[in-house]
Amino acid sequence: GLHSPEQIAAWQKITAGVHAENGRIAVQLWHTGRISHSSLQPGGGAPVAPSALSAGTRTSLRDENGHAIRADTSMPRALETEEIPGIVDDFRQAVGNARDAGFDLVELHSAHGYLLHQFLSPSANQRTDQYGGSVENRARLVLEVVDAVSKEWSADRIGIRVSPIGSFQNVDNGPNEEEDALYLISELAKRGIAYLHMSEPDWAGGKPYSEAFRQKVRDRFPGVIIGAGAYTVEKANDLI
């Protein structure tokens, strides 16, 4: 993790070693949201999510002997509106810790069915406050996090990973997934972040992006775009 002085000090040794060899090192920060288990939560409480809807999937735990096991995710509780600024501040603090630990870049994980993606999804997010309903409201938390961490460090040290097309861990992107994705991407472009990391659904059994959608993304985001998915050398070279 990156939430204690001891962890920051430990990471400093690793990042210093990378820098000593003229390397660069980034860290990905995420909040799992409902993809969790009550045994991992403070006091054995419920995981938090935009809405009290089961993830219907499994997560990783350790048994009493320390062996890795898989277990059904626990039923989450919906975050109260007044709790959400605390989530934003947790990301801000984590980015500050990453900077102090010597990382060169931070990637915000807003993909694959985890908390930020859950807020973006009209199926996982059934809120009726300013964080639910319209695409503008569902994207609000992601953009608030981007703004907060950019202020804490610098926008050019912040990247973001998104999976706006298809379904991941029972989190889908809704019937207007392309339009919603392009709204978010346009807003991210305004903020001058380091890069946009697009995770395609074809690695998880979905369809690859259409050429028309790829072009729309490129038109809206002038900066660095990273692609992830069922890529071959030939496919990657062709897209480049």
CATH code of residue 228 = 3.20.20.70
208 shares a domain with 133 = yes
Domain count, the chain: 2
52 shares a domain with 133 = no
More confident site: 38 or 240: 38
167 shares a domain with 101 = yes
87 shares a domain with 12 = yes
CA atoms in the 13 A half-sphere facing the CB of 40: 20
User: Two tokens at 62?
Assistant: 């350790």
Residue 18 to residue 188: CA distance in whole angstroms: 29
Contact 145, 104 (CB under 8 A): no
187 shares a domain with 85 = yes
Q: What percent of the chain has pLDDT over 90?
A: 91
Is the CA virtual torsion 198, 199, 201, 207 positive or negative? positive
Buried b / exposed e across 1-16, counting CB within 10 Å, b at 16+?
A: ebeeeeebeebeeebe
More confident site: 182 or 207: 182
* Cα 129 versus chain centre, distance: 22
pLDDT by residue (tens digit) across 86-115?
A: 999 999 999 999 999 999 999 999 999 999
pLDDT band at 3 (very low <50, low <70, confident <90, very high): very high
Unique residue bearing structure tokens 């993606």: 117
Give the residue from 13, 45, 78 where a domain finishes: 78
162 shares a domain with 49 = no
**The pLDDT value given to residue 37:** 97
pLDDT by residue (tens digit) across 150-184?
A: 999 999 999 999 999 998 999 999 999 999 999 99
125 shares a domain with 9 = yes
**The pLDDT value given to residue 162:** 98
142 shares a domain with 52 = no
Active site residue 195: no
154 shares a domain with 48 = no
**The pLDDT value given to residue 206:** 80
Classified as helix, coil or strand, 77 is: strand
Residue 125 to residue 192: CA distance in whole angstroms: 27
Q: For residue 157, what is the DSSP state?
A: G
pLDDT band at 81 (very low <50, low <70, confident <90, very high): very high
Instruction: Count the neighbouring beta carbons within 10 Å of the beta carbon of residue 209.
Output: 23
Compute the average pLDDT of residues 49-76. 96
Give the residue from 62, 78, 94 where a domain finishes: 78
3-state helix vs strand vs coil in the chain, percent to 5: 45, 20, 40
Compute the average pLDDT of residues 186-191. 99
pLDDT band at 134 (very low <50, low <70, confident <90, very high): very high
Give the residue from 55, 78, 101 where a domain finishes: 78
pTM for this prediction: 0.94
Q: Which residue among 114, 131, 183, 209 is the active-site one?
A: 114
25 shares a domain with 105 = yes
Name the packing angle between helices 5-20 and 84-100 (round to 10°). Answer: 40
Domain of residue 158, residue span: 5-30+79-239
177 shares a domain with 216 = yes
pLDDT band at 202 (very low <50, low <70, confident <90, very high): confident
Residue 222 to residue 238: CA distance in whole angstroms: 19
126 shares a domain with 51 = no
**The pLDDT value given to residue 238:** 86
